[in-house]
Amino acid sequence: MMLSKRLKWIALLCILALAAWFFCRPVIVLHYSADAQKPVVYFLNENDQITRGELAPGQTEKFYTPMFASRDAWIEVSLPFASRDGVHVKPPYSRVDVYIDASTKIERTDTKHNFFARF
């Protein structure tokens, strides 16, 4: 009976550790202006792994990145069909916010290094 309780606690702790590992990774967040008239297509290139997506006006998209990225890792966010703007990001960072204005130009990029900025 006591062994069963210990196994339950160990299993719970393992699940919590995995959840913390997932949610504590550095993030890149794309914010598209609510004043925009049409969706914008973006490409997220993470070390030659390309993700293509679309943001509707007012939409925010969050991308989790590796917890312990190598020093030569890089990520590019680009808007090739709208304005050809792009952002190149290299570690270390905790959170990178990319703000896209209504004219589909990258308005600004905020890079935070504080661990709690990820949330």
* Domain around 39: 26-118
**Beta sheet of 86-89, edge-to-edge order:** 49-55, 40-46, 75-78, 86-89
pLDDT in tens, the chain (119 residues): 577 888 999 999 999 989 888 888 999 999 999 999 999 999 999 999 999 999 999 999 999 999 888 889 999 999 999 998 999 999 999 999 999 999 999 999 999 988 777 77
CATH number at residue 52: 2.60.40.4150
Residue 15 lies in a domain: no
Residue 18 lies in a domain: no
Rounded-to-10 torsion of CA 81, 53, 42, 104? 80
- For β-strands 95-100 and 40-46, DSSP reports them as unpaired
Whether residue 4 is contained in a domain is answered as: no
Q: Indicate whether 16 belongs to any domain.
A: no
Tokens matching residue 29: 């967040």
Total domains present in the chain: 1
